Structure 1
Amino acid sequence: MNGQPHVTLEDVARSAGVSLATASRVLNGTTNVRPDLRDRVVSAAADLAYTPNAHAQALAGASHRTVGVICHDVSDPYFASIARGVMRVAGENGLLVMLASTFRDPGKEIAYVSMFRAQRASAILLIGSGFEDRAWEQAMAAELDPYRKGGGQVAVVSRHRSLKVDTVQPENREGAAELAKALLAMGHRSFAVLSGPRALTTVVDRLGGFREALAEAGIELAEEDIFEAAFTRDGGYAAANAMLASGRKPTCVFAVTDVMAIGALTALREAGVSVPGDVSLAGFDDIPVVRDLTPPLTTVALPLEELGAQAMELAANGTKSRSRVKRLGGEVVLRASTARPR
């Protein structure tokens, strides 16, 4: 080792003045890149002596039983519960887990995949929603395809199959539809949705399933009934305040994730709005804390730890055949945050 810092894909992209996705496509041989951008990336990589496998070369011949796990935010209880399942199965297989948080930055996700490739991780897991972005899909495929061809295993949780890798898919659309039907059965006919960014596949599925079930009952969920914010507790707080400021008075509010519902509950309480006296509130995921809220939260319970365990099982027992898909359903759990409307 010469003591020089390892040059990353981010360094190359910054030097070339291009996005991480463009740098990734160029360095992985993808052809659909403008010639001038390609030249800039190649030149920057040469100047910086960038080598994706620099670490692997330095440790040539060693056997690395490591798994790179990339999630949006490890502090989010949703991801923490899934990671628990990953860790359990990894431990059973003698694998060391390296964990990275992207904070929902698609560029960081691609950069972390590149780093784990350089570290010669034996498997890479992507946990959490994918992005409704064709450029991101192409850049991610440009990283994962050569990694898989070289023997690396890849599994994803809660994404569509655009990446053509092993997938564990919670039934987000179906679960949201069942929740809508349960709320309709309680007598609700006026709804608002606190939504995360619709660039995330999970949001698209949950919002779509909820909306379609309402439409089947003859109830339209208008765009004005949807309040979009960050896919976080603070996002739920902001979305609920936006709903209150709009003057809309639904009898039931659906937050597309429990952490958003937690923020919404605080906003409603601060505004003097009683849950469920004035408005019912429901979430999605059944993260452990929602049972201890006042009132406890109605939600769609997903087997979060099992999602992680199944993904790790797929990665640990990889196959060269076509990609595999495992689907895990959720269950509507009615708790005290929802009641019949007045």
Structure 2
Amino acid sequence: MAQRAAGSATLADVAREAGVSLATASRALNGGTRQVSGTLRESVLRAAERLQYTANVPAQAMARGRGNVVGLLVHDIVDPYFSSIASGVMRVAARHGLTVTIASTENHPEKELEYVTTLRGQRARAVILAGSRNEDSALQRNLTKELKAFEAADGQVVVIGQRKLPFDTVMLENRAGAADLAEQLARLGHRDFLVLAGPSGLLTSRDRVLGFRDGLARHGVPLPENHVLRAEFTRDGGYAAMVRAIESGFRGCVFAVNDVMAVGAMAACRDRGLLVPTQIAIAGFDDIITLRDIRPSLSTVRVPIERMGEQALDFILDHRADGPRVKPITGEVVLRESTQPLEGK
């Protein structure tokens, strides 16, 4: 008799090997309202081990109405901001027997829709959308429609970002955090500012630019439109935008709308022979974990990133409310070596 391929055994094979009914084998392996005696359960488990049986998770989800999988959709898995969110989600999920599947859109917003459709077909328990919303109204309408269908099939939806979709939201107060940072930099004596922003349709970038402008305005400091340079929301985007700023002759204080762009900006300064902070000051936003290895240390807005991931999973575990819930998350300005007070302030 040909040897069965590892992992190809069915539940019926396990039941036959253990000498029990299919229903008993199912209850022994997957649980159920009716208990299986210790002896029978051990017999089934030994049979499953001998046959290298692996449960068909999609089929189980179909039978139960939903599975134990939580889909986490991020924009860029390389960005430590998203890996920290994933860490928070997975920590809570592990305590409750949930499996987290991570997918990266690679900064292509339309991929979110594709992933949500896939997760709905797999009957995932929940989906968490982590990252900025986009100004593309048609894209957001289509995404909302698909998420509503996911929810109608007894799934749960949580958003980490702006309150732009009608679902539970962990909302980072980007505008307020950027405003606080601008005010503190102005108090250090800085008056000439430039912003390294993300793409124009990205709401996180938009809100942080608006907030930074708000904070400067409170100190009578303008931020001209030509001092807002747009690039990709990545380390390389920050590098490229900083090169443009340096070549234009700028030598003031730079605010990069996220830390990875700020890290790229610092690398550009180093490659061009400019010293931070004596010749150019730089600040970021998020306080990603990798900043501990950056020198000079980077001024930023500290965000409880892992806690945001934990809160998203808490929403899933909590009983549903009558309507979408919102958990505001505030940032804290942390001034470090990259933005020293100006002499003669």
Q: TM-score range by the shorter chain?
A: 0.7 to 0.9
Aligned to 1:149: 152
Match of 1:116 among 105, 111, 119: 119
Contact 1:194 1:229 in 2 (8 A): yes
Aligned to 1:306: 307
Cα distance, 1:72 vs structure 2: 0.4
Alpha-carbon distance in 2 for matches of 1:59, 1:237: 46
Amino acid at match of 2:195: V
Aligned to 2:291: 290
Q: 1:69 is paired with a residue of what secondary structure?
A: strand
Contact 2:179 2:214 in 1 (8 A): yes
Aligned to 1:265: 266
Amino acid at match of 2:84: S
Contact 2:58 2:67 in 1 (8 A): no
Alpha-carbon distance in 2 for matches of 1:233, 1:245: 19
Alignment of 1:1-342 (within 5 A): 60-62=62-64, 63-160=66-163, 162-249=164-251, 251-319=252-320, 321-342=322-343
Aligned to 1:20: none
Cα distance, 1:318 vs structure 2: 4.3
Amino acid at match of 2:74: C
Q: 1:151 is paired with a residue of what secondary structure?
A: coil
Contact 2:60 2:67 in 1 (8 A): no
Alpha-carbon distance in 2 for matches of 1:136, 1:163: 12
Contact 1:195 1:256 in 2 (8 A): yes
Q: 2:158 is paired with a residue of what secondary structure?
A: strand
Aligned to 1:33: none
TM-score by length of 1: 0.81
Aligned to 1:46: none
Aligned to 1:11: none
Alpha-carbon distance in 2 for matches of 1:70, 1:94: 20
Cα distance, 1:59 vs structure 2: 6.1
> How many correspondences in the alignment?
286
Alpha-carbon distance in 2 for matches of 1:74, 1:114: 20
Contact 1:73 1:104 in 2 (8 A): yes
Alpha-carbon distance in 2 for matches of 1:65, 1:58: 10
Alpha-carbon distance in 1 for matches of 2:283, 2:132: 20
Contact 1:123 1:154 in 2 (8 A): yes
Contact 1:279 1:341 in 2 (8 A): no
Alpha-carbon distance in 1 for matches of 2:171, 2:247: 36
Aligned to 1:24: none
Amino acid at match of 2:333: V
Cα distance, 1:245 vs structure 2: 1.8
Alpha-carbon distance in 2 for matches of 1:159, 1:218: 28
Q: 1:163 is paired with a residue of what secondary structure?
A: coil
Alpha-carbon distance in 2 for matches of 1:277, 1:220: 22
**Cα distance per residue 1:128-171 (max 9 Å; x no partner):** 111111101110011011211221100010122x3110000111
**Cα distance per residue 1:160-212 (max 9 Å; x no partner):** 2x311000011111110000011001000100001111211111111110011
Amino acid at match of 2:217: A
Cα distance, 1:277 vs structure 2: 0.6
Of all paired residues, the percent bearing the same amino acid is 47
Q: 2:62 is paired with a residue of what secondary structure?
A: coil
Cα distance, 1:333 vs structure 2: 0.5
Aligned to 2:22: none
Cα distance, 1:56 vs structure 2: 6.2
Contact 2:173 2:329 in 1 (8 A): yes
Amino acid at match of 1:321: D
Amino acid at match of 2:114: A
Cα distance, 1:215 vs structure 2: 1.7
Contact 1:132 1:199 in 2 (8 A): yes
Q: Larger C-alpha radius of gyration, 1 or 2?
A: 2
Cα distance, 1:57 vs structure 2: 7.5
**Cα distance per residue 1:71-123 (max 9 Å; x no partner):** 00112100001110000111112100111000111111110010011110010
Q: 1:281 is paired with a residue of what secondary structure?
A: strand
Amino acid at match of 2:120: R
Cα distance, 1:306 vs structure 2: 0.1
